[in-house]
Amino acid sequence: MAAEFTYYFRSLLAALGRQPGWYGVFAEREPDAAAAYGSGRRLPPWDVVRTVLRDVAANGGAGDADPAEVGRAYALHRAAAAAEDSAPGASHALRGRLDAAIRARDGAAARARAAARAYEEAGAETAGPAGARLANGLAWARDDLSRAAARCEELRGRLAGAVGAARLGREAAGAGTGGGTGAAGSDDAGAAERSEAPTVRRPTGARFAGSGAAVPSGSPVALAPATAARVRSAAPRGARFAGAPTADAVGEAVLPAPSAPAAGPAPSGARFAGAPKAPATPSAAPARDPRWTAEAQAGAARLGALRRAGESGAAYLVLCAAAEGPADRIPYVVRELERTGLGADVATLLWEIAALPPEPLAEAVAALAADGRGPDCRTLLHQAAARSPEDVAVVADLLHHAGRTDESGELLETFARSRPAATAAAVTRTRPSLATPLLAAAARVSAPCQRDISAALRL
């Protein structure tokens, strides 16, 4: 399957001819990666394949590739990925790649923020050649960010698939021999147990951007216009960027459209032991602070005006300022964005909050929890779980001492589920008092998870 996809992808690159579009610029920026994709040594991410398909169609005068051709390409890509993920140790390798992808996404977010600030600070000078360079840099920074986020989701989906296959294999082996798994491979087994659950449990919608999903965000299903929202940004211009993706391009969507998860009874029974409980409905809405309400309304009005004017860089800075402001104001901003039709920007706002230092991040989680916005809390906690053990320890400890034990437990549970046992246990080096809550969180994930982390704590 890998060889078949490599042949297909090479044919796409050949079809680009003298108009390589986005891929031509990508090959200049990352020649090693482009060479590895073309030779078949590495499987390109789906967003790369999708953009090449679009550019080939554009070179032929079409607006986009034929859906049947996109489906064929996706099937070949998924088959090649499945073959790669079925190799021994694939789960471990994918977990390492996901960690690297998360770091790349965070770096891309920092570069996008810096590019937006530089463009905003240029002011009136953006009309000249220097301004064009800044706009071009901002466009590519936003493109890098959207792709980095999409690749995180793709790897999460692949990891979930690899984990599921490994689990079925272990169950089949156990049924055939009458015994369970032995010591060999127990670390992979425990890690597999921890990594599988998010695919089933995590909700969707704009406020859950960054959480795991069973379907990678670049798949044809995940990119349906009714269920996806795009990161808006100015596209690169000029001959070198002919065919470069725009913000409306299908395949670069990384932020699901806003949707409220349907309420329903909490799952029960042994199969759901340890599943996160649905947030309790607040008995009464908290009293509104008129100062925060006025500031949130002013910020949303400015953001909306900038969006309508196409000033994506300045709009991004408004969201950054809101994230860095008082924690108590954040729920007001979220409500106002949703009220004024800017719900897609909530995901970006929460993303920026998740990148704050541990102390303001914990304050933001507590403020959202106090306002009854449990889904937004889970978004931040799931994103925070990708940070270092030291940061996770500080956030969990601050939440615990603030009386937010459910949120602290959710963070530790997500961390225990998604990280190797030794990494999860490392939170106790920064906050030894978290040993007991960490083991309790691991027990909610699975018995193997608790066993592995308990062993790591004894080392």
Structure confidence at residue 195 (pLDDT): 41
For the record, the structure tokens of 289 come out as 């602070």
Phi and psi of 198, rounded to 5°? -60, -30
Question: Looking at 250, 275, 300, which one is the last position of a domain?
Answer: 250
Q: Cβ–Cβ contacts within 10 Å for residue 295, how many?
A: 18
The 8-class DSSP code of residue 267 comes to: P
Q: Of 277, 303, 276, whose CA–CA distance to 417 is shortest?
A: 276
Structure confidence at residue 265 (pLDDT): 40
The answer to whether residues 100 and 245 belong to one domain is: yes
What is d(CA 326, CA 349) in angstroms, rounded to the nearest whole number?
13
Residue 58 CB contacts under 8 Å (≥ 6 apart), including other chains: 21, 64, 243
* Coil vs helix vs strand at 431: coil
Q: Are 154 and 45 in contact (CB under 8 A)?
A: yes
What b/e string do you get for 424-437 counting C-beta neighbours within 10 Å, with b at 16 or more? bbbbbebbeebeeb
Is residue 230 a part of any domain in this protein?
yes
pTM for this entry: 0.54
For the record, the structure tokens of 51 come out as 């953009």
Q: What does the angle CA 219 – CA 9 – CA 46 come to, to the nearest 5 degrees?
A: 20
The 8-class DSSP code of residue 255 comes to: E
What is d(CA 414, CA 379) in angstroms, rounded to the nearest whole number?
11
Is residue 30 a part of any domain in this protein?
yes
Q: Name 255's bridge partners.
A: 229
Domain that holds residue 439: 385-459
Q: Name 229's bridge partners.
A: 255
For the record, the structure tokens of 213 come out as 């999903």
Question: Looking at 202, 220, 250, which one is the last position of a domain?
Answer: 250
**What sign does the dihedral 208-214-216-217 (CA atoms) show?**
negative
Tokens 């190799």 locate to 87
What is d(CA 116, CA 121) in angstroms, rounded to the nearest whole number?
9
Could you write out the three-class secondary structure of 86-122? Answer: CCCCHHHHHHHHHHHHHHHHHHHHHHHHHHHHHHHHH
Q: Of 302, 319, 277, whose CA–CA distance to 444 is shortest?
A: 277
Is residue 325 a part of any domain in this protein?
no
Is residue 178 a part of any domain in this protein?
no
Q: Cβ–Cβ contacts within 10 Å for residue 239, how many?
A: 6
Structure confidence at residue 315 (pLDDT): 85
Structure confidence at residue 159 (pLDDT): 85
Question: Looking at 250, 281, 306, which one is the last position of a domain?
Answer: 250
The answer to whether residues 192 and 49 belong to one domain is: yes
Structure confidence at residue 311 (pLDDT): 80
Is residue 375 a part of any domain in this protein?
no
Question: In terms of C-beta density within 10 A (0-12 exposed, 13-18 middle, 19 or more buried), how is residue 271 classed?
Answer: exposed
Structure confidence at residue 293 (pLDDT): 94
**What sign does the dihedral 122-124-129-135 (CA atoms) show?**
positive
Structure confidence at residue 391 (pLDDT): 92
Is residue 286 a part of any domain in this protein?
no
Is residue 260 a part of any domain in this protein?
no
Q: Of 345, 405, 417, whose CA–CA distance to 377 is shortest?
A: 405
Structure confidence at residue 167 (pLDDT): 58
pLDDT averaged over 10-residue windows placed end to end, the chain, 459 residues: 90 91 92 94 95 92 90 93 91 88 88 85 69 83 88 87 65 50 41 39 35 38 33 37 36 35 39 41 64 94 89 83 93 95 90 89 96 92 89 96 95 90 92 96 92 92
What is d(CA 204, CA 217) in angstroms, rounded to the nearest whole number?
12
Is residue 191 a part of any domain in this protein?
yes
Q: Are 404 and 412 in contact (CB under 8 A)?
A: no
Structure confidence at residue 172 (pLDDT): 55
* Number of domains within the chain: 2
What is d(CA 201, CA 156) in angstroms, rounded to the nearest whole number?
13
